[in-house]
Structure 1
C-alpha cells in the first residue's frame, strides 16, 4: 500500500503575499538571512502583517548549522511566537523547519503555524518534510526528514524572484531539474508523483534558459517558481537518488552550492542509473531507461528507442548546463583535486548512509560511488553511452 498526501496549502500568482493580511493580532517570527533584512525585502512581509507583533531572526547562512538552529530556538523561545515564517531560499526555509521542530520539542509540542515563502525557485522546501542541516565539526550535510517539518502554508509570489541574478537562477533551476528527474525514477514513485515530476520537468526544461537570459519576464518566472514547488511535492513523497546523496557530501566538504553540485553530478548519475551500457542486446532496457526516454519525448527530443532517448536527454541537459555556465566537472569548477582526494572517502561514507540513496533506482556499491566521483571530479573522462 502506498500513500500520497498534500498537507501544505499553496497560494500562488500575482500578489499572493496578500494572504498574510489574514493574520491578525499574532506574534510572528520571520526567519531569514541578513540580506533579506538589510535589503528591505522583509518589509514586504511586515507591511502585510501590520496588525501583528513581528520580530526577525536574520542569522541564517547558506547550509545552516546546528549552532544557528540553536540560536533560532533561543530567539523563538524568548519571543514565544504564535506563527513562524521561513522567508528566503532553501537554507532559510530549512532553518525555519529545524528551529520550529526543536522549539516544539522543548515546549511540549506547542501549536504553531508555519508559513514558507521562497524567494528562489529551486529547493521546493516550502512543500517538503525535508531539511538539510550542516554539522560544521564533521563538515557534512544531513538531510532531516519528518512529517512535522512540513509547512502549513506556502506562498509563491513571482515578484519575489524577479531580481534573482542569473547565476542563482541557473543553480536553482538545475536543482529543480534534478528533483523532477530523481523523483520520476525513484523506487517510491507512483502515478501521482510521476504526473507532478513530468509537468515540473517540462516547465523548467523549456523555460529555464529563457529566464536565465531575461529574469524580468514575470510570466516565465512564475512557471519556474511553480515548477520548483511541483518537483518538491513529487520528491517529498517519492524520494530522490544518489545525485543528491553525493551533492550533500560535496557541498559539506567542498562548499559547493547545492544546486550547482546537483547540476554537475546529474548527467553522470543518469548514465549510471540507466544501465544502457550494460544492455548488450539493446533490447532488455531497464524501467529507468524507459522513463528517461519518456522525459525526452516530453520535451520533443528524438527518443525513438530507449538508448536514443537516454543519450539525447543526457546530451540536452549537458548542453543546457553549458548555456547556463554550469561546469562539467569539479576540476572545471576550480576544485583542487588533491583536496578532493582527501575528502573523497568521507563523501562516499556519507552518501552510503544518506536517506536519498535508499530510493535510487539502481543499488550502488562503494566501488561504484568511487568511480562516479572520479568521473565527476574530472579525473576520468565521461564517456557517452
Structure 2
C-alpha cells in the first residue's frame, strides 16, 4: 500500500506573511540566522508581533550547514522559554535546524517528566530551493558528515510562501537554489517510491524552473518569476517528502560536509552525471529511469524521438541552464584540490552508500560504480 500526505497549511502569494496577525496571546520563538536580523527581514515578523503585543524571543545563531552544537544551543533556548509557537525564518539551514531543535526539545522535556507539547511550527523560507517548509527531512552536520533526519513529527504545521522574502536574493544564489528545486523534482520523479501524486507535483515544478529560472536570474525584480520559483520549490518539496530522493542527494550531502559546497550548487553539478548513470544507455537496455527522463523531455518539448535522445536532451537542457547561470560543470571547476578529493574519496563513497536517499534511487549502486561516478564528477 502506498501513501501520500501533505501536512502543512500553505499560505502563498506576496504578502502572505499577514497570516501571522492571527497569532495572539502566545509565546513565540523565532529561529533564524544573523543576516535575517541585519537585513531587516526579521522585522517583518517582529513588527506584527509588537503591534499585537505578542511575547517573542529570537534565536539567531543559525549558520550554513547547521551543526549538532547549534541544535543543542537552540534546545537550551527552547527549554528555558517553552514557546507555544516556533517560527523558522531563513533558508534550508534555519528550517532544518528548527526541526531538529523542536524534536529534541520535546523528547528531552518529556523524558524529564515535564509534559511539553510540540509547539505550533511555522516555516517561512527566504530562498526558493530546499522545500524544507513542507518536508519531513532535516540535515544536520557532525564533523564532515551530514546526517539526514527523517521524521513526520518535524513537518511544519504552516508554510508561508511569500515572495517578498526572496526579491533581493542575489542572482547566483537564485540559480543555485532553483537548481536544487530541479534536482528535488527530478529525483522524486524517478524515485522507486514515485506515484501519480508525486509525479504531478514534480512535473509542474520542473516546468516552472525551466520557464522562470533565467528570468529570475537576469532580473531579480521580476516578481512573477520569483513567485513561480518559490511555489515550485514548495511543490518539489511535497513531491520528494513523499517519494524520497536518490544518489544525487546522497553524494551532495557528503560533498557538502567535506568541501562546504553550497547544497544547491552541489546538486546542480551532479545532476547531469547522475541522470546519465541512472539511465544507463550504454547497457543497450531501456531502463525505467531512462523512460521517465525521456518522458520529462517530452513534457518540456525537447527532442525525444527515442528514449536515448530524450535522456540526452534533458541532460543538454540542464547543462544550458547551468552555463547560462554560471554554475560550474564539475568539481574541478569549484577548485577542489585533486589530492584532497582522492584522499577523501573512499569515505565519501561509503557515506553516499549509507545515506538514506540511496535506498530509493532507481539503480542500486555498487561501491565500485559510485567510486567511478565520483571520479567522473570531479572532471578528470
TM-score normalised by the chain length of structure 1: 0.96
What is aligned with 1:263?
268
Residue 330 of structure 2 contacts residue 379 of structure 2 at CA under 8 Å; is this kept in 1?
A: yes
Residue 204 of structure 2 contacts residue 232 of structure 2 at CA under 8 Å; is this kept in 1?
A: yes
Residue 8 of structure 2 contacts residue 159 of structure 2 at CA under 8 Å; is this kept in 1?
A: yes
1:304 is displaced (CA, Å) by: 1.6
User: Structure 1 residue 32 and structure 2 residue 37: aligned?
Assistant: no
User: Structure 1 residue 313 and structure 2 residue 314: aligned?
Assistant: yes
What is aligned with 2:68?
66
Consecutive unaligned residues of structure 2, counting only runs of 5 or more, are 111-115
Residue 135 of structure 2 contacts residue 155 of structure 2 at CA under 8 Å; is this kept in 1?
A: yes
What is aligned with 1:92?
94
Deviations 1:202-224, CA, capped at 9 Å, x for gaps: 01111111110011111110000
Residue 206 of structure 1 contacts residue 299 of structure 1 at CA under 8 Å; is this kept in 2?
A: no
1:348 is displaced (CA, Å) by: 0.6
Tell me which stretches of 4 or more aligned residues in structure 1 moved more than 2 Å.
Answer: none
SS of the aligned residue for 1:182 comes to helix
Give 1:263-342 correspondences, 5 Å limit: 263-279=268-284, 284-342=285-343
Consecutive unaligned residues of structure 1, counting only runs of 5 or more, are 380-385
TM-score normalised by the chain length of structure 2: 0.97
SS of the aligned residue for 1:154 comes to strand
What is aligned with 1:238?
243
1:244 is displaced (CA, Å) by: 0.3
What is aligned with 2:117?
110
What is aligned with 1:383?
none
Task: Give, in whole Å, the separation in 1 of the partners of 2:49 and 2:272.
Answer: 44
Deviations 1:52-102, CA, capped at 9 Å, x for gaps: 111110000001000000000001111111110010000000011010110
Across the aligned residues of Structure 1 and Structure 2, the Cα RMSD in angstroms comes to 0.8
Residue 183 of structure 1 contacts residue 234 of structure 1 at CA under 8 Å; is this kept in 2?
A: yes
Task: Give, in whole Å, the separation in 1 of the partners of 2:203 and 2:289.
Answer: 14
What is aligned with 1:123?
130
Residue 102 of structure 2 contacts residue 118 of structure 2 at CA under 8 Å; is this kept in 1?
A: no
Task: Give, in whole Å, the separation in 1 of the partners of 2:356 and 2:211.
Answer: 30
1:111 is displaced (CA, Å) by: 3.0
Aligned residues: 373
SS of the aligned residue for 1:60 comes to coil
User: Structure 1 residue 347 and structure 2 residue 344: aligned?
Assistant: no
Residue 187 of structure 1 contacts residue 238 of structure 1 at CA under 8 Å; is this kept in 2?
A: yes
SS of the aligned residue for 1:117 comes to strand
Task: Give, in whole Å, the separation in 2 of the partners of 1:144 and 1:254.
Answer: 21
